[in-house]
């Protein structure tokens, strides 16, 4: 398989995940789409540097993270938060399930938007996207121990924020 076809396959497999990850950081759908596109262009242009020491998904998320951080460092734009779940299609759930899922997603992502950026990133990569500690460390350019300790602090911070906003009661924490 040639480079173009492989990147196209990766795009089909991973673009939605990359987009939702970037969206949680930049909080602007159009910008997230642009940065997702840039991620795959950069992957195409730097294909030879991919050494297969990690999965292509880990490599793509690392590129996405670095591009996003570089963008924010350069521009520091004021951006509006648009919930990613409003842009997703559901596979024929019942109407009440759709409502409940969107309400819970809204609560979670609203709370995620109010905690420290490092906490948000590690929670999204480890708990929402399901990356291993090793892959999360590679994506963020951190040590594995930093991933573990940040996640250890991030989960209680998220629970505290959910409680503060009235989405959890004290007994759930």
HEC states along 115-158?
CCHHHHHHHHHHHHCCCCHHHHHHHHCCCHHHHHHHHHHHHHHH
- Specify the pLDDT at position 77: 33
Q: Give the whole-angstrom CA distance, residue 109 versus residue 91.
A: 21
Domain 1-82: assigned CATH number? 1.10.1740.10
Q: What pLDDT score does 137 carry?
A: 92
pTM over 0.75: no
Every domain of the chain with CATH number 1.10.10.10 lies at 89-173
Q: Where in the chain is the domain with CATH 1.10.1740.10?
A: 1-82
Provide the 10 A C-beta neighbour count for residue 131.
24
Q: What is the pLDDT of residue 15?
A: 94
Q: What is the pLDDT of residue 166?
A: 76
Task: Look at residue 19 in the predicted model and tell me its pLDDT.
Answer: 93
DSSP 124: I
User: What is the rounded average pLDDT for all residues in the chain?
Assistant: 79
- Nearest to 67, CA basis, from 31, 103, 95: 31
Structural class in CATH, domain 89-173:
mainly alpha
The Cα 45–Cα 34 span in angstroms is 16
pLDDT value for 63: 93
Regions of the chain where pLDDT drops below 70: 75-106, 167-173
What pLDDT is recorded for position 96? Answer: 53
């Amino acid at each position: 398989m040639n480079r173009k076809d492989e990147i196209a396959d990766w795009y089909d497999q991973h673009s939605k995940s990359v987009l939702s990850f970037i969206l949680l950081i930049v909080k602007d759908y159009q910008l997230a789409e642009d940065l997702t596109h840039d991620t795959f262009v950069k992957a195409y242009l730097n294909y030879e540097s991919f050494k297969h020491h990690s999965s292509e998904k880990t490599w793509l998320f690392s590129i996405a993270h670095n591009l996003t951080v570089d963008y924010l460092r350069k521009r520091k734009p004021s951006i509006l938060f648009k919930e990613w779940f409003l842009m997703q299609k559901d596979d024929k759930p019942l109407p009440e399930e759709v409502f409940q899922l969107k309400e819970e997603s809204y609560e979670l992502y609203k709370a995620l938007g109010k905690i420290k950026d490092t906490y948000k990133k590690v929670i999204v990569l480890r708990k929402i996207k399901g990356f291993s500690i090793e892959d999360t460390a590679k994506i963020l350019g951190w040590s594995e121990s930093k991933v573990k300790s940040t996640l250890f602090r991030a989960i209680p911070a998220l629970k505290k924020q959910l409680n503060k906003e009235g989405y959890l009661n004290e007994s759930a924490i």
